[in-house]
Structure 1
């Protein structure tokens, strides 16, 4: 498979592995009545302010392989730096990151190199977060679409390409077009994690079905009965079709009939073939509504139902004129998310790691309001407007705005907290016990830490694949794996992995009882 090479790729291709695990600091919970609480709101909705690369890494312990739908609207790299949402990779935060990761070589990068260096590790982490039956949608335009598609083939696999939607984003031609061509469209590049999933499609138009002849089989519509193969390709589909009532003969069309002679004769006898009143007409067939395999048909790859102008209108009605330039219309992510998510799925998570004005959260709340679903959103935004625009918009959508009824719901607002490990590789004890427990369990199992069990000691993490995990840790004293500690354990398993500062058990005893000791990486000399 062809791959794309650019300056700095060798520095970022595995950079997602080097990104430190950081914890998330809960700031407040926002409720639909406009109030805030110091306690978690409990809905599972999250808005995270911080670098989205580190935020995505922080989400792994709880959400790896669990996100059903990802919609992102990354910078298009147009070179326009005048927007509230900086659409260029010369943002100071990105430039600082590039200098740290790529080094002096980064000074020679073109804007396309910079964009690819920025996107690659983020896409790698998004791939890890996506569920096996999940789909990712990426809005992009002509500046980077060709590069992005090759990179997506590399990370997700060419076989997982679904489509490249064309979205008519403009309602009128661009008078500023210097080439004489108005670029009125953008793209939505769509990939899936595996072939376990496809888009739902759009509902079929049942208004076309009726029953003018009172057919006992119910409502029907007329459909074409011509075939798709020439006489040389499928000779058995080329024959004269005779109306048994009038004797009129209808020669086979150029591409033949849809059915062979025997099948067609059976359909004629069942009254499924509609013969025209004139010999010059073309026979058709009855298709009954209750025989449809699905109530949905394939969705068009061209989207014309909404535009950027709608997005501007909505954000202005929520936050005022000029609050945010060129936001996506709510209807766009609403339609895409609706293609993937099931309102009855109790664990349906939608992620947007380039949250901007919060359109994705608005779409999720609106969908839940419409169908009673329980979709949850996670937004990450690195810019300083994460609270004043992104979170503020979501608050007003929940409460209601400009005559629009509130959707209800809640969310929790987070910032990036301490790293799990210090620069010297020791456990960062400032991170706090809950975060350390969650990370240790994830590092061992690649699973989120379940709720703690009251049936075991305080060090118990969880049981996974017949292995019991314990994190015997105390902030201000040395912990020891001893027979006394073993006496407090209640979980029975085939193997035990126990973290502690010291171990007094003999190797023979641990081997006999399936115990693996792991030393907590911290400096205990101060004790």
Structure 2
């Protein structure tokens, strides 16, 4: 069972410090440390590092749909069909540390839903995966153990993909909210927990509920690094601005009255005030203080920033002008369905996009695009990359395209969906949003659709020679440089084996699918690039190690020395 534990106190001793005051040295001060709760469950030890063992598969491009923006030719929107664990691994060479915002809506694990790794012990996909990864212990797993086993390696890879100044938003409900929090604290670090958003999702109560109508879901928010990530402010609404009036026709425009009194102690905030018609107000209301000093009050009054009421006899307040209000609103943690949509709205929206007559025929639990737009407004700029690895009906892509159209942005979306409806619902919805549906004008844009292709390495550890050479070259370059191959700053065509040059190191991958390759003097004579160091892959080497070292050449044997990640 998944249970929170505080650890063994005997095994985690507090530090011991010598107390100077106890000069005889007969005593020591024992200062207990704060022990953070951890989460453990059956099978955890098998999945903590499982993301390292996930096979690296190539992305097999199927087609491209729509007209790509000229600014996005080197960074296409992507929809990937396949297991999201393997898909996340396949994205590393292109996107590690580059995703600005991740939104996922994983299964809530209610016990009633039909997800691949569900609580149906007879599900063949579940038995195969858990049996292979967890082993015989998988026979004793509860549905909560299975959910945690499924989520942990995926969250590990998502963490690697997220940019240092990025954030992840995870939808969840009460079934796994507590477990998710502890698991995220472990992977992301509890210091990087930002907040839990409450989405008021029901626009009417569920009167058939046995106990309570569950009207909300959670969205857990974590930053890769909370010291540098900051949410963007939300745009002000017309309703907010409508609160500002101008009853005294102030030439500076509409204003909102701010109370002069507050409960916070302020030593200079106890003075009497005389109104415009001579009435003396002895001081602030009982238990409160004027927010400003007498000197500051007189300055504001002289500048006509104090309002005394229509007859000049009210308790004064400070005028806050609309023109001086900050541009934007700090996001709050309670999101009402009237602002970001409800579950009913999301089903109606999907039905309208897909021209369906029955919500049940499409998707059980879509999210409204307004909800995801709110997340994108907070967490992204116009040129950022957004990832959703539990894509479902494609709401995240819908929201990205909508927002790009609103602000002429160039945000890129990456969707991963493992179920068979990836083409018939996920991709189809995106096509219709791009082209327009019903009376809704199309957003424009494009995407490229992929299937997960073969693994880069065979079961016996050899390179899969049937793969396109470019896919292998991309992997080798990334394994050496941890940068996308497409961004290599120095690529020439001196030979088909030259990968590129980065930081004065030139990389060569001397590989022929049908022949053994040998690093020898003949091959070295073909090198034209001048660099301080050379890394050369080949099947064999006939040049002495000392000779290579003197010339700063590193030989790496194929496939033995190819890094796995």
Distance 1:13 1:522, change over 3 A: closer
Aligned equivalent of 1:102:
134
Matched, 1:419 2:455: yes
Aligned equivalent of 1:375:
411
Q: d(CA) in 2 for partners of 1:11 and 1:165?
A: 32
Q: d(CA) in 2 for partners of 1:456 and 1:310?
A: 58
Matched, 1:48 2:48: no
Aligned equivalent of 2:513:
475
Give yes or no for contact 1:30–1:412 (8 Å, CA) kept in 2.
yes
Aligned equivalent of 1:333:
372
1:285 to 318, 333, 342: 318
CA deviation after TM superposition for structure 1 residue 247, in Å: 6.1
CA deviation after TM superposition for structure 1 residue 440, in Å: 1.1
Deviation readout 1:323-361 (Å, 9 max, x if unpaired): 222311121112212221112x2xx11111111111111
Distance 1:73 1:467, change over 3 A: same
**Unmatched 5+ stretches in structure 2:** 1-35
Distance 1:316 1:242, change over 3 A: same
Aligned equivalent of 1:37:
none
- For this pair of structures, how many residues does the alignment match? 508
TM-score, normalised via structure 2 length? 0.84
Aligned equivalent of 2:537:
499
TM-score, normalised via structure 1 length? 0.90
Matched, 1:193 2:224: yes
Q: Which moved more, 1:310-319 or 1:480-489?
A: 480-489
CA deviation after TM superposition for structure 1 residue 218, in Å: 5.0
Give yes or no for contact 1:455–1:490 (8 Å, CA) kept in 2.
no
**Unmatched 5+ stretches in structure 1:** 34-39
Q: Which has the higher contact order (CA 8 A, sep 6+)?
A: 1
Q: d(CA) in 2 for partners of 1:203 and 1:255?
A: 33
Within 5 Å, which residues of 2 pair with 1:52-451?
52-81=84-113, 88-90=118-120, 92-178=124-210, 180-195=211-226, 196-204=228-236, 205-211=240-246, 213=248, 215=250, 217-230=252-265, 234-243=266-275, 246=278, 248-253=280-285, 254-276=287-309, 281-305=314-338, 306-319=341-354, 320=356, 321=358, 322-343=361-382, 345=383, 348-450=384-486
Distance 1:367 1:279, change over 3 A: closer
Q: d(CA) in 1 for partners of 2:269 and 2:508?
A: 70
CA deviation after TM superposition for structure 1 residue 41, in Å: 8.3
Give yes or no for contact 2:279–2:313 (8 Å, CA) kept in 1.
no
Q: Secondary structure at the match of 1:151?
A: helix
Give yes or no for contact 2:117–2:147 (8 Å, CA) kept in 1.
no
Q: d(CA) in 2 for partners of 1:465 and 1:224?
A: 60
CA deviation after TM superposition for structure 1 residue 87, in Å: 8.8
Give yes or no for contact 1:330–1:363 (8 Å, CA) kept in 2.
yes
2:546 to 470, 490, 508: 508
Aligned equivalent of 1:489:
527
Distance 1:89 1:100, change over 3 A: same
CA deviation after TM superposition for structure 1 residue 27, in Å: 1.1
Aligned equivalent of 2:9:
none
Q: Secondary structure at the match of 1:201?
A: coil
Distance 1:456 1:208, change over 3 A: farther
Give the root-mean-square deviation of aligned CA atoms. 2.5
Q: d(CA) in 2 for partners of 1:424 and 1:141?
A: 42
Q: Secondary structure at the match of 2:318?
A: strand
Q: Secondary structure at the match of 2:506?
A: strand
Aligned equivalent of 1:16:
51
Q: Secondary structure at the match of 1:492?
A: coil
Q: Secondary structure at the match of 1:4?
A: strand
Q: Which moved more, 1:126-135 or 1:221-230?
A: 221-230
Q: d(CA) in 1 for partners of 2:316 and 2:185?
A: 46
